[in-house]
Amino acid sequence: MTTPSSSARPGGTVLVTGGAGFIGCAISAALMESFDRVVVVDSLHPQIHASGRRPPELAAAAELIVRDVTEAATWDDVLARVTPDVVVHLAAETGTAQSLNESTRHTHVNVVGTSQLLDGLNRHHKLPRRIVLSSSRAVYGEGAWRRADGKLFYPGQRTSVTLEKGEWDFPGAEPVAMNAAQTFPAPVSVYGATKLAQENILQAWAKSYDVETVILRLQNVYGPGQSLINPYTGIMSLFCRMAMGGKSIPLYEDGDVRRDFILIDDVASAILAGALSTTVRGTPIDIGSGEFQTIGTAAGLIARHYNAPQPHVTGQYRQGDVRHAWADVSAAADVLGWTPQYSLTQGIDLLADWIDAQPDVQPA
């Protein structure tokens, strides 16, 4: 992983919440190269960490403190021992569909976990120089669409009635790329609402104390190291396991749902840039591959990799899913000096090769 040219090695201490998860492990080695001390706070939730043990992917020199971010006592313990210069806030419940059924859990972890962190920093008089928040494209909901006359509008959440009729798109309009400078956030899932709340809470707090903020709205993250036991962390690993078993991958709606699949390596370099860049502005930044692919295209590439049957359209749908989502990444280049490096084909090959090498992995 390369460090953006606009950054410098700051040294000091970086505190990473949720740092034993998929993204945290992916950035841990690079953080060790850039900071003198890396401290990870993670609950090792069994939905992600079935064994309850420290993940081997986490850099050996990173200090792991197993505690719950939603508890005030956690921060009294951690901040008695740690004075962070930079905080990378990754800790969150991430399941879009699951958030509809477990709203309290998602709200508690994502919102209260954030406010407890901030209260702890204030209570112990240990304000960091910068906080980097891993946010989500889910804050946009369906985002903006453009009518034939060129005017933008916000269609809002698709209803059960329209979905039951198979009315997937909004007639007479085309979606546009998500851009934090132009696209108004309007989440259509509990998860998206909690991520937007995280952003708002952090910005209100940080501006009051002159703490720098870097808010990264991530698109669909996938790649080696992704949980193979958590059904709520993305479809790419699930598709690989289906194709591995010789199954035809089922496609929801009409298979033409657009997504911006971004490889974990690119996400890791974006977060590192957010932690190190000297040119931050404080406004949210979109992080994605810079282009969209349909779900059908991604599934077809995976099927071809495994020589599996072609994917098939089911017409099923999921409440809380948006129709199309992809990012305009120009601000990431301008502010952070960051651009994505991997194509979808490269990323799928890397993910599939990694899955194939895992012991005891089972086809789905």
Cα-based distances in Å from 312 to 164, 300, 340: 19, 10, 30
Q: Is 191 a catalytic residue?
A: yes
How many other CB atoms are found less than 10 A from the CB of residue 208? 9
Q: Which of 140, 191, 222, 306 is catalytic?
A: 191
- Beta-bridge mates of residue 134: 216
| Residues 233 and 226: beta-carbon distance below 8 Å | yes
Q: What is the spatial distance between Cα 197 and Cα 119, in angstroms, rounded to a whole number?
A: 16
- Nearest by Cα to 244 from 363, 351, 348: 363
- List phi, psi (to 5°) of 167: -90, 85
Residue corresponding to tokens 């005030």: 72
Q: What is the spatial distance between Cα 75 and Cα 139, in angstroms, rounded to a whole number?
A: 27
Q: What is the spatial distance between Cα 260 and Cα 288, in angstroms, rounded to a whole number?
A: 6
| Residues 131 and 211: beta-carbon distance below 8 Å | yes
Instruction: Concatenate the DSSP letters of all residues of 327-348 into one string.
Output: B--HHIIIII-------HHHHH
3-state secondary structure of 186: coil
Q: What is the spatial distance between Cα 185 and Cα 171, in angstroms, rounded to a whole number?
A: 22
Tokens of 134: 């891993």
Q: What is the spatial distance between Cα 239 and Cα 301, in angstroms, rounded to a whole number?
A: 10
Tokens of 200: 């708002």
DSSP symbol at 138: G
Q: What is the spatial distance between Cα 294 and Cα 261, in angstroms, rounded to a whole number?
A: 10
Q: What is the spatial distance between Cα 191 and Cα 94, in angstroms, rounded to a whole number?
A: 7
Which H helix or E strand runs over 205? Answer: helix 190-209
- List phi, psi (to 5°) of 283: -90, 150
Positions marked catalytic: 191
